[in-house]
Amino acid sequence: MSHSRVVGAVEIGTSKVAVLLGEIIGDSGLNIIGHSACSSKGIKKGVIADLNVASDCVHAAILTAEKNAQTRIDEVYLAQTGSHIQGGFNVGTTNVSSPDGVIRSIDIDQAKEEAKRRKLPNSRTYIHHIQNPFSLDGRQVENPLSKEARCLQVGYWSVHGDSEIVSDSLRVIRGIDLDVNDMIISSIASGAVILQESEKENGALVIDIGGGTTDYVLYRKGYIVKTGVVPVGGDHITNDLSIGLRVGRKSAEEFKVKNGRAFYNSADRDEKVWLFGDLTIGDREYPLAAITKIIEARVSEIFDIIKEQLIDADLLVPSDIASGIFLTGGTSRLTGIEEAAKRSLGLDACVAEGPQDVVDELRQPEYSTVLGLLHYALTGQEESQSSVKPAGILRRIGSLLNFD
């Protein structure tokens, strides 16, 4: 590979396939040289439902991006989401081997191996092992090397997915003769571009509400301590409106975008909104209250589920999430979404601003995940504690697809 390489960040989302092309120069320079987005087909709730249809649309998006940038992609970074993705916290423990209790790198390696040793059933594949701080006889330390202790522990937040579903998405990329260099779950990718280091240190909850899924990641003291996927997104809001108001999907979508609000106000009872608003036959009025009540029920349920999951993990500690909630993803455009998040989770919430150093179009919340993928392509996962090494993933992908 020459001095620069072209990385394609691909997110096969429920409502759109987004592709960003980044040119990575040397070790630190990144230029975004092309992008494309097209409406998804064959994807529901973040998972490929129809492989052929989905492939066609992903390939179209990749080709368009390549054409825009007038170059070819060398390697792909792929986002993963869907309810099949689960995570768990595993701790590796080792007794320090040297007689003087000074920790050597062999002890560290052993603790790490121990933590990652847990075997998954054949139907599951690891996507990330995200390292958390070490602990020396119960004291937390960043770097234990050469320190003294009897017992060394290290924790990992390990994320795994359904092998079939993951390999389906890899097959889609392989189908256009590209290699997937790494896959990163959407929440972690989004979190990487949205949060400043200081916000991660103070603790932050990133919630990426997309079309079919809601992906979240919780940072505590700078470390990723939990990720999760709620298989509910903007599509559900639209479907609820369609059923509740008994209108077509298209009209429901329009209501959501034009009149939607994430919470209900009693004043909404007196306000009416028009279906088309153009005085054509079939146009009719709906109470705004109907729309906001339906959306409020759905949106608050999404946040309540996240809340339950954080409480179950004993992680909903406001002082540990001092930076509050950062919302992103297409559905974060919904009016009042930060208020709804705040009401459910009891934390300050804001809609995240995109990174300042990209063009306006890419600063939109829909692009957080793909921008995050490029971020990973640039920095590498090691630094960002997602410690699945490139060699590891290639081997994993190989075994998934039965080649090599």
Partner 1 sequence: MSLETENLFSQSTAATDLKIKIIGVGGAGTNAVDGLKLDDLGDVRLAAINTDAQALANSPIAEKLLIGRSITRGLGAGGEVEIGKAAAESDRDAIARMIADTDLIILIVGLGGGTGSAAASVIAQVAAKTEALVLAFATLPFSFEGARRKHIAEESIGELRQIVHGLVPLPNDVLLQEGEEDTSVLNAFAVADRWIGRGVNSLCAMLLKTGLINQDFGSLRSVFHDRGGKTIFGTGISIGGDYVKHALDDLFQCPLLHMGDRPAQLDRIIVNVIGGADLGISKVNEIMSDVSKRLSTRGDVVFGAVIDESRHESLEICILGKADMDRVPVAPSKKSTSMISGLGLETEISRENTRSKPVHSSKLRRKKEVEANQDEFTFIDVEAQRGYFDKTDRNEYKGEDLDVPTFMRRGIKVKIK
List contacts with partner 1 (CB under 8 A): 44-45, 49, 83, 230-232, 235-236, 238-240, 242-250, 252, 286-287, 289-290, 293-294, 297-298, 301, 305
| Cβ neighbours, 10 Å, residue 224 | 26
- In the complex, minimum distance from the CB of residue 263 to partner 1, in angstroms, rounded to a whole number: 13
- In the complex, minimum distance from the CB of residue 264 to partner 1, in angstroms, rounded to a whole number: 9
- In the complex, minimum distance from the CB of residue 280 to partner 1, in angstroms, rounded to a whole number: 14
CB of 95 or CB of 265, closer to partner 1: 265
Distance between alpha carbon 205 and the CA centroid of its chain, in Å?
12
CB of 267 or CB of 297, closer to partner 1: 297
Q: Which of 158, 175, 8 is nearest to 79 (CA)?
A: 8
**DSSP letters of 265-281?**
-GGGGG-EEESSSS--T
Q: Which of 31, 34, 45 is nearest to 10 (CA)?
A: 34
- In the complex, minimum distance from the CB of residue 325 to partner 1, in angstroms, rounded to a whole number: 20
Going by DSSP bridges, is the β-strand pair 180-185/75-80 parallel, antiparallel, or unpaired? parallel
Sign of CA dihedral 121, 125, 127, 129: positive
Q: Is 165 left (phi over 0), alpha (psi -120 to 50) or beta?
A: alpha
CB of 243 or CB of 311, closer to partner 1: 243
Q: Which of 5, 38, 20, 377 is nearest to 184 (CA)?
A: 377
- In the complex, minimum distance from the CB of residue 172 to partner 1, in angstroms, rounded to a whole number: 18
Q: Which of 207, 231, 232, 233 is nearest to 219 (CA)?
A: 207
Distance between alpha carbon 299 and the CA centroid of its chain, in Å?
18
- In the complex, minimum distance from the CB of residue 261 to partner 1, in angstroms, rounded to a whole number: 14
Please name the helix (run of DSSP H) or strand (run of DSSP E) that holds residue 298, with its range, or none: helix 288-312
CB of 133 or CB of 234, closer to partner 1: 234
- In the complex, minimum distance from the CB of residue 33 to partner 1, in angstroms, rounded to a whole number: 36
- In the complex, minimum distance from the CB of residue 290 to partner 1, in angstroms, rounded to a whole number: 5
CA–CA distance, 134 with 94 (Å, rounded to integer): 11
CB of 187 or CB of 214, closer to partner 1: 214
CB of 191 or CB of 210, closer to partner 1: 210
Sign of CA dihedral 193, 300, 314, 210: negative
Cα–Cα distance list, 331 to 13, 64, 236 (Å): 13, 25, 11
CB of 5 or CB of 44, closer to partner 1: 44
CA–CA distance, 289 with 286 (Å, rounded to integer): 8
CB of 76 or CB of 294, closer to partner 1: 294
CA–CA distance, 16 with 330 (Å, rounded to integer): 10
CB of 67 or CB of 249, closer to partner 1: 249
- In the complex, minimum distance from the CB of residue 25 to partner 1, in angstroms, rounded to a whole number: 43
Cα–Cα distance list, 353 to 32, 169, 193, 260 (Å): 18, 29, 10, 21
Amino acid of residue 122: N
